Amino acid sequence: MPIFENIDRAYFENEIVPAARPVVLRSLVSDWPIVAAAKLSPNKFADYVTAVPATAPVKAWFGAPTNAGRFGYSDDLKDFDHERREVTLTELLAYILAHGDDPTAFSAYAGGIPIGATIPALRAALPMPLLEESRETLVSLWLGTRTRTAAHWDVPQNLACVVLGRRRFTLFPTEQVKNLYVGPLDFTLAGQPISLVDFAAPDLTRYPNFTHAMAAAEVAELGPGDALYVPSLWWHHVESLDPVGAMINFWWRDGPDYLMTPLLTLFHALLTLRELPETERDAWRTMFDHYIFGTNGDPMSHLPEDARGVFGAMTPEIRKRITTIIAGTLRP
């Protein structure tokens, strides 16, 4: 995986993001005070985080020692294999510090803690030089013992910044979805579908094509102060390699504000496309290529702007019209 140091925003925006490939950004946030505290000790990190008041509890997962830090489903995929409960940030940090190196203790993990809503006073001390300050960005904190996050994808782009401990990322391009044996799309651990493969002990009898995925994998190991750029829809498995780990990430999307997740389109396609005869599906693939993906250029270039209907420039009125049309088709 490419490794960069000392890049500026212009290089990030003009070279790295358009390439749509993951890269390691060494020492990108090494000057953050929270990283400096973490480099002293996990306790100093905890002191730094709890020095500012938390305004809300956090949702934490606790997994039995037999899970070896991995969080997933029950055997029948109808439930989860771990306990979930709300705790205060102070309680979670105390548990992690006390039990992080105890193999007989439950693993603990809290992912995607929204800093703006939970510990807003911390946000000002987390500058991100590669992103415009005005860009709408979700900044989140990730805490845990020695845990493993199943391979998954995110719609937004991601800058994952390691604060405490080491983290190993294993990434796959989107097309490896065919080899990652993904679980349910509508019943997920945290919103995104995950691979069912245990990366530490893959069952190749049950998941034989996983070897093809690993042949395409890109692996990076990061320490405190390092960051990883993860493009949209790249699969990534994350392993915390030390007894106590923490990461802060920045999520953002390019494009207009009205965009929703295309996963909704995929769900809608179950009602409109999947069971069509093959010849009709192929015909609709051609229509999508033409009207949505622009294979042949602007599909409405021959029409005046005011005659393009819902394909005109998006306005609140057109958006309302589209959602009304879709909502009307979904009534039972």
pLDDT tens digits for the chain (332 residues)? 999 999 999 999 999 999 999 999 999 999 999 999 999 999 999 999 999 889 999 999 999 999 999 999 999 999 999 999 999 999 999 999 999 999 999 999 999 999 999 999 999 999 999 999 888 999 999 999 999 999 999 999 999 999 999 999 999 999 999 999 999 999 999 999 999 999 999 999 999 999 999 999 999 999 999 999 999 999 999 999 999 999 999 999 998 888 999 999 999 999 999 999 999 999 999 999 999 999 999 999 999 999 999 999 999 999 999 999 888 888 76
Cα atoms in the Cβ-side hemisphere of radius 13 Å centred on 103:
1
pLDDT at 254 (0 to 100): 92
Q: Are residues 26 and 77 in the same domain?
A: yes
Q: Are residues 210 and 137 in the same domain?
A: yes
Instruction: Please name every residue paired with 153 in a beta bridge, in sequence order, or none if there are none.
Output: none
Q: Are residues 235 and 269 in the same domain?
A: no
Q: Are residues 129 and 276 in the same domain?
A: no
- We report the CATH number of the domain holding residue 16 as 2.60.120.650
Q: Are residues 160 and 307 in the same domain?
A: no
Q: Are residues 184 and 110 in the same domain?
A: yes
Contact residues for 86 (Cβ-Cβ < 8 A; gap 6+): 57, 58, 59, 60
Q: Are residues 171 and 293 in the same domain?
A: no
Pairing of β 227-230 and β 3-5: unpaired
Any domain includes 305: yes
pLDDT at 184 (0 to 100): 97
The DSSP symbol for 12 reads I
Taking the C-alpha atoms of residue 78 and residue 111, their distance in angstroms, rounded to an integer, is: 21
| Residue finishing a domain among 193, 219, 252 | 252
Buried b (16+ CB within 10 A) or exposed e, 223-254: bbbbbbbbbbbbbbbbbbeebbbbbbbbbbbe
Q: Are residues 237 and 290 in the same domain?
A: no
Counted residue by residue, the chain has a size of 332
Q: Are residues 43 and 130 in the same domain?
A: yes
pLDDT at 61 (0 to 100): 98
**Contact call for residues 133 and 214 (beta carbons, < 8 A):** no
Q: Is 128 exposed, middle or buried (0-12, 13-18, 19+ CB in 10 A)?
A: buried
**Contact call for residues 55 and 120 (beta carbons, < 8 A):** yes
Any domain includes 213: yes
**Contact call for residues 4 and 16 (beta carbons, < 8 A):** yes
| Residue finishing a domain among 220, 252, 284 | 252
| Number of Cβ atoms within 10 Å of the Cβ of 321 | 13
Taking the C-alpha atoms of residue 130 and residue 158, their distance in angstroms, rounded to an integer, is: 12
Domain count, the chain: 2
**Contact call for residues 148 and 82 (beta carbons, < 8 A):** no
Q: Are residues 163 and 225 in the same domain?
A: yes
| Residue finishing a domain among 215, 231, 252 | 252
Contact residues for 157 (Cβ-Cβ < 8 A; gap 6+): 17, 229, 230, 231, 232, 251, 252, 253, 254
pLDDT at 48 (0 to 100): 97
Any domain includes 257: no
Any domain includes 258: no
Between the alpha carbon of residue 2 and those of residues 22, 25, 172, 260, the distances in Å are 8, 9, 14, 31
Taking the C-alpha atoms of residue 67 and residue 62, their distance in angstroms, rounded to an integer, is: 10
* DSSP letters for 234-281: -EEEEEE-SSSEEEEEEEE--S-TT---THHHHHHHHHHTTTS-HHHH
Domain containing 274 equals 263-329
Any domain includes 218: yes
pLDDT at 60 (0 to 100): 97
Which secondary structure element, helix H or strand E, spans residue 167, and what is its range? strand 167-172
* Strand order from edge to edge, sheet including 218-222: 148-152, 235-240, 167-172, 218-222
Q: Are residues 206 and 268 in the same domain?
A: no
SS (H, E, C) 50-71: HCCCCCCCEEEEEECHHHCCEC
Q: Are residues 74 and 98 in the same domain?
A: yes
